[in-house]
Chain A
Amino acid sequence: MTPATPTLLRPTDPADVSRLLAGARAVAGGTDLLVQRRAGAEMPTLVDLSGLAGTRPAVVRDDATGELTLSAVHPLTDIADGAARAFPALTAAIGQFASTTIRNRATIGGNLVTGSPAADTAPALLAAGAVVDIVTPDGARRTVDLADFLLGPRRVDLAVGEWVTSVRVPQPPAEGGFRKIGGRRAQAISFLNLAWQWHREPDGRLTGVRLAMGSVAPTVVRLRTAAAALEAQIPTQDVVDAAVAVIDADISPIDDLRASAHYRRRCARGLLREALLPPSPGERPDQYVTPTTREKNQ
């Protein structure tokens, strides 16, 4: 049975949030929390963070350093618009996230705080070396590396009364991307996902290679061994084979309700191969748009 109607508090000034959060829970897009509530979770008082979006921009780029500050309380649609070319891996992840209707509500803050190993924004942020900006109950700030923030399935480094205000990443390189495997294209929780970023030098070598994968360990993890096998290399077939061959060292998948460990190990190799040697458009398995009368006839 759905629990009683919660009291909803809606601060419009960030300075009021900590005070209101005493004895309450935060809600942003509600796309995780309200599903839990429907399943019976009691939450008598909620503090709505989505109203804070009006007080600041979704994405700010520091012109001197290129650092990006991403709002934790804006819908993903706004983050993707604001970060578009500046952060290709995150933009790609948002493009494959849930559905248009959910992207119009869901936030990065909610995605990270759920602590899901399948959270689709986490791999791009982890690969980019993100830090999480947290407001403590006394209104002070603390900053923690995303790698340390993610503690385990549904566990993050966030004390009662704390909230996430933003996530910052050093300027990401121009090349990056994201792929996920799910039960279907839309509204699918990832069986597995991969984000990557690297610089491509004029001679074709990849440097600054950073890879992160979700749903293959208790938290989203960096693929450090595979990345080391690619560093300063030209991604020829042999180099890619070598990187793919060592990926098992970086992951520890388990059997769960969505997929088996064996399947995940196979997919991990496939995703990395596709990231490095993308299938040409002609052989893409991605022709999901059935041509309609109009486009068939063009």
Chain B
Amino acid sequence: MHVNGDPVATPAEADHGLRLLDYLRDHLGLTGAKEGCGMGECGSCTVIIDGRAITSCLVLVGQVLDAEIRTVEGLAAAGHGPLQDAFVARQAVQCGYCIPGVLNSCAALLDRDPDPTDAQICEALDGNLCRCTAYNRFYDAVHDAAAARHPNGAGA
């Protein structure tokens, strides 16, 4: 299992049935992923598994032993610092509880499509609930990040 680019010790067999969310928080000390609902509805526990945004409350550790996992703690190292900067610049964060999950969904989208449309951003965020901010700030931040990451691209 790799987390944020580094290999981590293989989880003990007795821990294979733990939720990935609990393993990240309690065993690896990565508390960025948050528990909201625990049932796949809210997206605050979203992490990136082999390039895809997935709710870590519905994944068991033993299911991802050979996977590349990325949490919000590893986003900047994966080249998504501009996305995080854009969220700050656009004031897209209020309480922040949803934000690690939102950022992971946006980062997985940007890795698939470097210059997404509003409709694509909407679809990428359809599993992330934010009760505070306005989603249009997320959209604006993603467009800014796309432009920053590809200054000569079509998205500028």
A residues within 8 Å of B by Cβ? 5-10, 27, 29-31, 34-35, 38, 46, 48, 50-51, 75, 77, 98-102, 104-105, 185-187, 288-295
What is the chain A residue whose CB lies nearest that of B155? A294
Q: Are B53 and A31 in contact (CB under 8 A)?
A: no
Q: Are A102 and B143 in contact (CB under 8 A)?
A: no
Q: Are B60 and A8 in contact (CB under 8 A)?
A: yes
Q: Are A295 and B63 in contact (CB under 8 A)?
A: no
Docked complex: B13-58 residues within 8 A CB-CB of A: 14-19, 38-41, 43, 46, 49, 52-55, 57-58
Across the interface, which residues of A come within 8 angstroms of B128, CB to CB? 101
Asked whether B8 is an interface residue with its Cβ less than 8 Å from the other chain, the reply is no
Asked whether B59 is an interface residue with its Cβ less than 8 Å from the other chain, the reply is yes
- How far apart sit A293 and B143, CA to CA, in the bound complex (Å)? 10
A10 CB, nearest partner CB in chain B, Å? 5
- How far apart sit A186 and B128, CA to CA, in the bound complex (Å)? 10
Q: Are A34 and B19 in contact (CB under 8 A)?
A: yes
Complex partner residue of A99 from B43, B52, B118, B143, CB under 8 angstroms = B43
What is the chain A residue whose CB lies nearest that of B45? A101
Q: A99-B126, A99-B127 are in contact. Are A5 and B14 (CB under 8 A)?
A: yes
Asked whether B87 is an interface residue with its Cβ less than 8 Å from the other chain, the reply is no
Q: Are B17 and A46 in contact (CB under 8 A)?
A: yes
Q: Are A30 and B60 in contact (CB under 8 A)?
A: yes
Q: Are B127 and A186 in contact (CB under 8 A)?
A: yes
Asked whether B119 is an interface residue with its Cβ less than 8 Å from the other chain, the reply is yes
What is the chain A residue whose CB lies nearest that of B49? A104
What is the chain A residue whose CB lies nearest that of B134? A290
Listed from nearest, the 4 A-B pairs whose CB atoms lie closest are: A99-B127, A8-B62, A101-B127, A186-B126
B residues within 8 Å of A by Cβ? 14-19, 38-41, 43, 46, 49, 52-55, 57-63, 65, 105, 117-119, 122-128, 135-136, 139-140, 143
B7 CB, nearest partner CB in chain A, Å? 19
B74 CB, nearest partner CB in chain A, Å? 18
Q: Are A294 and B123 in contact (CB under 8 A)?
A: no
Q: Are B122 and A38 in contact (CB under 8 A)?
A: no
- How far apart sit A100 and B101, CA to CA, in the bound complex (Å)? 12
Complex partner residue of B58 from A31, A48, A51, CB under 8 angstroms = A31
Q: Are A100 and B59 in contact (CB under 8 A)?
A: no
Complex partner residue of A77 from B19, B43, B52, B60, CB under 8 angstroms = B52
- How far apart sit A78 and B105, CA to CA, in the bound complex (Å)? 18
Q: Are B38 and A38 in contact (CB under 8 A)?
A: yes
List 6 contacting pairs A-B, 8 Å CB cutoff, sorted by A: A100-B124, A100-B125, A101-B128, A186-B126, A292-B136, A295-B118
Across the interface, which residues of A come within 8 angstroms of B140, CB to CB? 292-294
Q: Are A291 and B43 in contact (CB under 8 A)?
A: no
Q: Are B126 and A185 in contact (CB under 8 A)?
A: yes
- How far apart sit A98 and B118, CA to CA, in the bound complex (Å)? 19
